[in-house]
């Protein structure tokens, strides 16, 4: 899927064809969608606090998406739709477990598979980068829910503005305004200024 100027979405024709095949009864074709979107689904589950249960959450989300594929809107993009299911499933899991993920633990999982100090890197620089990541995640945790969601979707999940709007069920203008406000708050927090905004974002 790609987004053109003006926010018009062009859906990947190959992906649309796979969805059509699954709907027509070729259940095995669904594996192609699972392979294509597992990585971003896992990032979403971890970012929203699934922790060690992230893989189970993602498997359940893919299963629910498969069962709901008949309700999937023709011409829509699969990834934002799937991520809404992943986020909902993660929240249900975290809520039922009655726990919140610690910043440090989530950071370690988000960086899983990456060397702590890449070959040839200056160790001092690597330590500094790690500290910046910790500060960023601490600042992110200080944002209200709406602001945190928009930053996660735009930057951790690497969705564009239109995909973010679809995934969160918000108008594009709301995504833009909340992202602008969230980035301002993050900047202030990282500079040691004010600001944890606690609850839901006003804008």
Q: How many residues does the chain have?
A: 203
pLDDT at 9 over 50: no
Q: Measured in whole angstroms, how far is the alpha carbon of residue 101 from the centre of its chain?
A: 16
| pLDDT per residue as tens digits for the range 67-99 | 999 999 988 999 999 999 999 999 998 887 665
pLDDT of residue 18: 95
Average pLDDT, the chain: 82
Q: Which two tokens stand for residue 31?
A: 């594996």
pLDDT at 3 over 50: no
Query: DSSP per residue over 143-166, as a string?
Result: S-HHHHHHHIIIIIS---HHHHHH
Q: Is 3.90.1200.10 the CATH number for 1-101?
A: no
- Domain edges within the chain: 1-101
Beta bridge partners of 2: 10
Q: Which two tokens stand for residue 21?
A: 């095949």
pLDDT at 10 over 90: no
- As a whole number, mean pLDDT of residues 47-63 equals 94
| pLDDT per residue as tens digits for the range 143-171 | 999 999 999 999 889 999 999 999 999 99
């Amino acid at each position: 899927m790609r987004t053109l100027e003006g926010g018009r979405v062009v859906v990947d024709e190959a992906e649309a064809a796979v969805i059509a095949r699954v709907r027509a009864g070729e259940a095995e074709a669904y594996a192609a969608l699972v392979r294509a979107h597992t990585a971003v689904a896992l990032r979403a589950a971890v970012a929203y606090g699934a922790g060690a249960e992230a893989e189970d959450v993602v498997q359940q989300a893919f299963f629910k998406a498969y069962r709901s594929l008949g309700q999937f809107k023709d011409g829509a993009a699969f990834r934002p739709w799937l991520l809404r299911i992943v986020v909902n499933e993660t929240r249900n899991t975290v809520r039922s477990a009655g726990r919140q993920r610690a910043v440090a633990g989530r950071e370690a999982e988000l960086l899983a598979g990456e060397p702590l100090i890449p070959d040839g890197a200056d160790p001092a620089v690597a330590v500094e980068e790690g500290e910046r990541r910790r500060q960023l995640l601490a600042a992110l945790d200080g944002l209200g829910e709406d602001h945190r969601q928009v930053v996660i979707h735009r930057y951790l999940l690497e969705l564009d503005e239109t995909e973010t709007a679809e995934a969160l069920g918000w108008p594009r203008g709301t995504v833009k305004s909340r992202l602008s406000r969230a980035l301002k708050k993050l900047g202030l927090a990282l500079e040691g200024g004010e600001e944890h905004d606690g609850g839901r974002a006003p804008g």
